[in-house]
Amino acid sequence: MHYFGFDIGGANIKWSDLDGNAFEIPFAIWHDPKQLPSILSNITSNFPNEARVGVTMTAELADCFETKRDGVKFIVDSVTNTLPQYKPLFYQTNGRLCGGSDAIKNWNQTAASNWHATSSYLFSMDKVNDSGFVIDIGSTTTDIIPVINGSPVNSNQNDFNRLANGQLVYAGVGRTPVFGILSELNLRDSVVTIARENFATMADIFRWRKETAEELDSNATADGRPASRLDSGNRITRLVCADSSELDTDEIYSISHQAKEAFVSLIAQQLKKVVSNHRAVPFVFKTLGRGTFIAEEIIHEAISKSVVAPPSIVAYSANLALNQSVPALAVAHFRAQLDRRIS
C-alpha cells in the first residue's frame, strides 16, 4: 500500500509520501477556489490505484470563504469528490483521522490542524526526546508548539487561541510584507518611517541577503517582477520611497539587516512567551519549514544565556522540500498507522 499526505494551504499545496518524496505547488486559493478539484486531480494522476490519502488544511481561512466552516466544507468536498478511490481521511486537532462527513460536522477541529499533526509526528517518532518545542517557520506563518510525551500540550486550539498565547505568529520568511514586520528604520542618520505599502516581502529581504534561493516565492513577488536578487534589491528601495538609482548597495543591505533583526526579534519574543508558559517542557527544539535557516538565531535570542544547559536544536532535514512538507508527511504516516491498527 502506498500512502500520501496532503497539506492544503491558502497559498501552496504540499504533498508527501512515506518514501521521503515531497512536493509543493503554488495555489492562491482565494483567486479561484473552484480550481482546487482539477489541481488535486492533476497531482494524483500518477498515484497508484491502491494508494490511500490523509489530509490536513489551513486554506479554510482564505477570505474567498465567508466563514471557516464554509472553507472546511469546500475543501473536504473537493477532496472527497475528486479522490474517492483513495478513501481520503482528514486530520483533526484531537489527533484523530476521520471521514468527510465528520470532518465537516466537527469543522472547528478540522480547520488549521497541521500544527498538531506536525508536532505529534516529530516527537512521537523520536525514541530519545519525546518532549520539547517545535518551531515551524513557513513562508506565511510561524508555529511554536510545546510538546510533552509526544503530544502537543494544548490540543483542540483554534488559530485565535494560538495567536493569543503566542503559539501562532502570523509572519513568515516568504509572503509577509516588510511593513508588517518593521515600521521605521535608521538610514542616513535619520529615523525613516517606511511606506505602508506592499513594496517588498520578507522573501526579498532574505533573497537579497543570499540566505534563500532566488527561485523561492517566484510566483508571489510584490511587483510581479522576477524573484531575482537584483529585483529584490529594487523592491527593497521602494520601502523608503526611493529606487535603485537613489540608494547604494550598503544602504540596501542596511535596510535588509534591520528588517531581518526585526523579524528575529518578533519571533523570539513570542518564543519567550511560550517557553515561560511551559516551564516543564525541556529545551529541545525541532526546527522545520522554509525558515529553518534562521531558527537557531531566534532560539538563542529567546533563551537566556544564564540557563544551566544550552538548548538542543535539531533541524528536521537538509532537504528543503521535505523540510517544508512535514505536515503532509505526518498525515501520511498517521493514515498508514491507522490502517495497520484496523487491519
- pLDDT score, position 335: 97
Angle, CA of 338, 58 and 116, to the nearest 5°:
45
- pLDDT score, position 240: 98
- The phi, psi pair for 336, rounded to 5°, reads -65, -40
Angle, CA of 51, 40 and 152, to the nearest 5°:
70
- pLDDT score, position 268: 97
Percent helix, percent strand, percent coil in the chain, to nearest 5: 40, 20, 40
Pick the last residue of a domain from 232, 264, 296. 264
Query: Do 92 and 113 touch, CB atoms closer than 8 A?
Result: yes
Question: 103 with 202, same domain?
Answer: no
34 part of a folded domain: yes
- pLDDT score, position 217: 64
98 part of a folded domain: yes
- pLDDT score, position 154: 85
Query: Do 308 and 144 touch, CB atoms closer than 8 A?
Result: no
- pLDDT score, position 342: 84
For residue 49, CA distances in Å to 77, 82, 97, 100, 332 come to 20, 14, 21, 20, 16
Which residues touch 66 (CB under 8 Å, ≥6 apart)? none
Parts of the chain with a pLDDT under 70? 216-219, 305-308
304 part of a folded domain: no
CATH number at residue 190: 3.30.420.190
Query: Do 118 and 143 touch, CB atoms closer than 8 A?
Result: yes
- pLDDT score, position 124: 87
- pLDDT score, position 305: 64
Domain with 51, as residue range(s), is 3-116+322-342
Total residues found in the chain within this entry: 343
Question: 16 with 108, same domain?
Answer: yes
Pick the last residue of a domain from 225, 249, 264. 264
pTM: 0.94
249 part of a folded domain: yes
138 part of a folded domain: no
Pick the last residue of a domain from 221, 236, 264. 264
337 part of a folded domain: yes
CATH number at residue 79: 3.30.420.40
Q: Which residues of 97-134 are buried (b: 16+ CB within 10 A; e: fewer)?
A: bbebebbbebbebbbbbbbbbbbbbbbbebeeebbbbb
300 part of a folded domain: no
- pLDDT score, position 304: 75
Question: 327 with 253, same domain?
Answer: no
17 part of a folded domain: yes
257 burial via Cβ count (<10 Å: 0-12, 13-18, 19+): middle
Domains of the chain: total:
2
